[in-house]
Amino acid sequence: MEYSKLIIAADNLMVSPRELESFLFMLKNGPVKQIELQRGIGFPSSVMRQLPLELSDIVLRDGDRFSLRESKEAEVDQIFKRRTAADTLFEDRLRAASDEMEKIEKSRSRSYRDFDQFRATCASSANKVRLMYGHGSLEGRDILFMGDNDLVSFLAAYAQMAKRLVVLDIDKELVALIQKINDVHGTRIEVQNYNAKRRIPQEHASSYQVAVTDPPYTPEGIFLFLSRCLSALKGGGVVYLNFGYSQRSREKAIPVQELLSDMGLAIEEVRNGFTQYHAAQSIGCRSSLYVLKTTPRSMPLIKGDFSGNIYTKIRQK
């Protein structure tokens, strides 16, 4: 089974490709009761009903038992071997990319504070790409980075598993750096100078399955960047959002959580203190990573241009 077909089936079922792989691996040794599969993977009954339809050439259902069709064990074995090899290759490439990132970091100028830029450590950026890989948000995916001062796109590109990587960023110096990285390392990151206060360019609308953003930590900034991400996502997409606040001002998280609800985004996971920064002392040099899933209610609340301030430090003219 080609991995691209497994991705399509997973998207249709609204589960991750990695979860679908786990389901198939559980059937390798013979028929399994539905309740045992559900306990092992967590699929709801609605997904279990649809599975034999989406994977009709591989999976057979007989009453409350699921099994692989005759002579399909070898095909699932190939999927298992592919995953084992891919895991090893991914870690090797990510390690090499991290070494290159450390060299790039030493030559970069300071972050532009007026854009609320604080650079994450290389280890944190690598962990973000590792998390995306584990969630099935890297392989074969079209990924949008709504701002990428941390160069997460470079680490993702070095893994050579994503289908398409696109960076939209207001910082012209960063755009030039990514273009130089493409020339030096042979990466194919599409990069465009873009001000999020402008509506999303039509060529990027409804074009991605994954969006990654570490926006300005103001309600307006988060509101705007998430709106642009939602405009760019296809149905059933996922957003990786960084947001930081100090332990002494947890109340700042409340408007953000309300905003996520208003935008129809479901919080699938929160990794507190996941990302570490070289600076950003006001929030303890850390931010949390939110993994957000779109729902039928998801919609951008800002579709056109935006004129308000989004930065914690108002830009000086």
pLDDT digits (tens, 9 = 90+) for 199-212: 999 999 999 999 99
The residue length of the chain stands at 317
Query: DSSP class of residue 200?
Result: P
Q: Other C-beta atoms within 10 Å of 204: how many?
A: 18
Question: Do strands 189-193 and 164-169 pair parallel, antiparallel, or not at all (unpaired)?
Answer: parallel
SS3 11: helix
Rounded to the nearest 10 degrees, how much is the dihedral formed by the CA atoms of 179, 181, 186, 188?
-50
pLDDT in tens, 267-279: 999 998 888 875 5
Please, what is the Cα angle at 84 between 79 and 89, to 5 degrees?
A: 120
Give the integer Cα–Cα distance in Å for 171 and 112. 8
Average the pLDDT over 78-91 and give the result.
96
Q: Residue 243: in which H helix or E strand, if any?
A: strand 233-243
Which domains are seen in the chain, by residue range?
3-70 (1.10.10), 88-294 (3.40.50.150)
Tell me the pTM.
0.91
Least confident of 155-159, 166-170, 284-288: 284-288
* pLDDT for residue 97 is more than 80: yes
pLDDT for position 117: 57
